[in-house]
Structure 1
Amino acid sequence: MDRESERNRLHARLSLPVARDIMIVGTLSVLALYAGAGFLIPLTVALLVNVLIIALSDRFIALTHAPIWLANLAGVTVVLAGLFVIMYVLGSQATQFVREINTYEDEFDTAVRRITGLVGNDVTTFIRDNLISIDLAFVARAAVGSATSLLNHFLLISLYVAFLMAERVAFRKKIRLAARSPELGADLSAVMDAISISLQRYVGVKTFISAVTALISYGIFRLLGLEYAETWAVLTFALNFIPSIGSIIAVVFPALISLVQFESIGPFLVIVFGCGTLQFLIGNFLDPAMLGRSLNMSTFLVILALTFWTTVWGIVGAFLSVPLTVCILIIFSHVPALRPVAILMSLDGRLGETDADRK
């Protein structure tokens, strides 16, 4: 018993410096993320774009057995062209919408009065007090401002992607050579492979699901004759990358605009129930079925990560919250001292492939 007590006291003494060092490193890391956002955000976007390109090129090779250089070229062309189109729409058409949003805000109160007879005074009062009080102009300017900023950095992101693709194979060799031992090199390679596989699956599946959702929503918007249909479709695509609240926002904004644009409440109901049902079905059935247990992240962690990255990097951080947290979870799972933290971050306490590898 005395030896066991002594071990426990020694373990407690050793744990305090470790906890202190983790807190110091964590605090400095948060400060560095906030201070270096201008440099780190384009680099992070480039890394995720690179992951998507690799996923597309690998799929292209599997389907066509094309040479690697041709598959990489096809992946780069498709992804960068799609990224440019998204940023261009948000930077041009959405900018025009921001200039006119004050007009929409003025007319929204009138639109709310039109639905008083349908939903009752109590619901109307709730809508007026909670929705009109939201500064839509600020939200729209922040969203378009972030997209415009990324559009301005498009050339820099493209250069990052080009050099990342060029050093894709050489970088792994350099990691092994830089490691102090073959075991450390193998561990680093395992971490990189785990991050790459998880991110490729997440980014690829999420891009496909978001594109399907945006295309169906765009068809609904065009059939209704909703103004700025392209902008709402692009925002639907982008907002689906924001966990939990993104799909709600993707329905709320076009629904509110339909109240102002149309005299009848029909288009509003079509968007709310049509697009809302679509988002619900995809978010609760298709999304989990395709992603499966590949992420294995706690639901609370997803919301916490969304709050943290949005606070540090703004709206762009909201889009990047899940991929960045996946990277942190995988890295923690491969570091013995931080493995308990990774278990707490996971959905069910199991770390998937990592456990299998260690047995």
Structure 2
Amino acid sequence: MQKYVGAILFLLVIYSLYLGREFLTPIVLAFLLSLTLSPIVRFFGRRSVPPALSATLLILGTSAFIAMLVYVTSGPISNLVADAPTISQKLQDRLHTVQLTVQKALKATAQIDSATEAVSDANVQKVVVAQPGILSRAAGNALSIGTTLAITFMLSLFLLASGTMFYEKIIQSVPRLSDKKKVLRVAYSVEREISRYLFTITVINGCLGLVIGIGLWLLGIPNALVWGVAAAVLNFLPYVGALLTIVLVAVISLVTFDSVAFALIAPAFVLTCNIIEGQFLTPLMLGRRLELNTVAVFISISFWSWIWGFIGALLAVPILVVIKVVCDHFDPLQAFGNFLSAQQVTSKQED
């Protein structure tokens, strides 16, 4: 009976995560953003700067930077969307084999449609459900994203400005002095490791996007800023994000340059940058301790993208890191934390 209760509770948790995604997404984003910026708040705190002041300046600066990126990239992205049919046509012209395959598929589809129309009753009325227009969908998405960002920034501000309030609440809730010290030590350790990881990986992804953007601009790729920002954001998706960036840059490069050999330079450059980042830079700056099991990473990305869509996919790995660090600090959960790790941990009993 207990196993059925556990399964039911598990399904209820998943359904709650899916049903409450609009409520939970900004909360998780705010939590991760506050952990990312907390090292900077602590740095200024050691120099007698109040947490409320440094948190306010950080949130204002972060929101202004994101707003500037959105403003600068909105025009090129709109042009890319408008030029999508032209880009598709150019790509088809370059890839003759794919073009012939698509044409055959379209021809077969047209024949099926014409045969269906021929056997249809002329007196039968067809009901067509009108879909919302592109402008109305874009306006709705922009409003939803704007609301999510506003809640995220405000909640992050309160979390950063609160200082040690949560740690004081934890201490007050534990009766014994020895337990207070242990809980406080674990809480500080978890917060320090997670914030270090998130801050470091954010800086690395930003530098990666900057290098890729400058490199693509020097190679003559149009809208290089957009691809640099895309590379930085998508790199929060291990493996999948890098592959998606390479494919997108390859498509744009193929339709931009006449020479196929020269067109392959841009995606090769992006691939090289991602290999250097993934194999050398990130392990050097973060160490091997927080490396994650590849299978666990893909499961996490699949799960959170299914629950929360694209924003869930971006949050999948940071959430997985949070879970792993928490598991590493509690003995009953260390086995699960070991599963999430990429390291092969040798048992202490064997030594």
TM-score, with length taken from structure 1: 0.75
Q: What is the CA distance between 1:110 and its match in structure 2? A: 0.8
Q: What amino acid sits opposite 2:67 in the alignment? A: F
Structure 1 contact 259–268 (Cα < 8 Å) conserved:
yes
Secondary structure in structure 2 of the residue aligned to 1:348:
coil
Higher helix share: 1
> Which residue in 2 is equivalent to 1:67?
49
Selected match of 1:208 from 203, 207, 210: 203
Which shows bigger deviation, 180-189 or 251-260?
Answer: 180-189
Instruction: Say which structure, 1 or 2, has more relative contact order (CA 8 Å, 6+ apart).
Output: 2
Structure 1 contact 198–294 (Cα < 8 Å) conserved:
no
The answer as to 2:35 corresponding to 1:40 is no
| C-alpha separation in 2, matches of 1:174 and 1:323 | 25
The answer as to 2:36 corresponding to 1:52 is yes
Q: What is the CA distance between 1:107 and its match in structure 2? A: 2.1
> Which residue in 2 is equivalent to 1:342?
337
| C-alpha separation in 2, matches of 1:319 and 1:237 | 11
Identical residues among aligned pairs (%): 25
Q: What is the CA distance between 1:266 and its match in structure 2? A: 5.0
Alignment of 1:95-174 (within 5 A): 95-113=78-96, 149-174=144-169
The answer as to 2:306 corresponding to 1:306 is no
| C-alpha separation in 2, matches of 1:51 and 1:144 | 31
Alignment of 1:1-359 (within 5 A): 17=2, 22-59=6-43, 65=47, 67-69=49-51, 71-89=54-72, 93-113=76-96, 149-179=144-174, 181-182=176-177, 185-186=180-181, 188-265=183-260, 267-348=262-343, 350=345
TM-score, with length taken from structure 2: 0.77
Q: 1:192 to 1:100 in 2, by over 3 A?
A: farther
Structure 1 contact 112–128 (Cα < 8 Å) conserved:
no
Q: 1:66 to 1:256 in 2, by over 3 A?
A: farther
Q: What amino acid sits opposite 2:29 in the alignment? A: V
- The structure having more radius of gyration, on CA atoms, is 2
Structure 1 contact 211–237 (Cα < 8 Å) conserved:
yes
| C-alpha separation in 1, matches of 2:219 and 2:312 | 33
| C-alpha separation in 1, matches of 2:16 and 2:144 | 20
> Which residue in 2 is equivalent to 1:138?
none
Q: 1:27 to 1:81 in 2, by over 3 A?
A: same
1:131-152 Cα distance to aligned partner (Å, 9 max, x none): x99xxxxxxxx99998884344
| C-alpha separation in 1, matches of 2:310 and 2:138 | 7
Secondary structure in structure 1 of the residue aligned to 2:95:
helix
Structure 1 contact 111–259 (Cα < 8 Å) conserved:
yes
Q: How many residues align?
A: 315
Q: Which runs of 5+ in 2 are unaligned?
A: 107-136
Q: What amino acid sits opposite 1:277 in the alignment? A: T
Structure 1 contact 53–79 (Cα < 8 Å) conserved:
no
1:144-183 Cα distance to aligned partner (Å, 9 max, x none): 9988843442222221112112223212112222345555
Q: What amino acid sits opposite 2:38 in the alignment? A: I
Q: What is the CA distance between 1:235 and its match in structure 2? A: 0.5
Q: CA RMSD in A?
A: 3.5
Q: 1:235 to 1:309 in 2, by over 3 A?
A: same
Q: What amino acid sits opposite 2:153 in the alignment? A: S
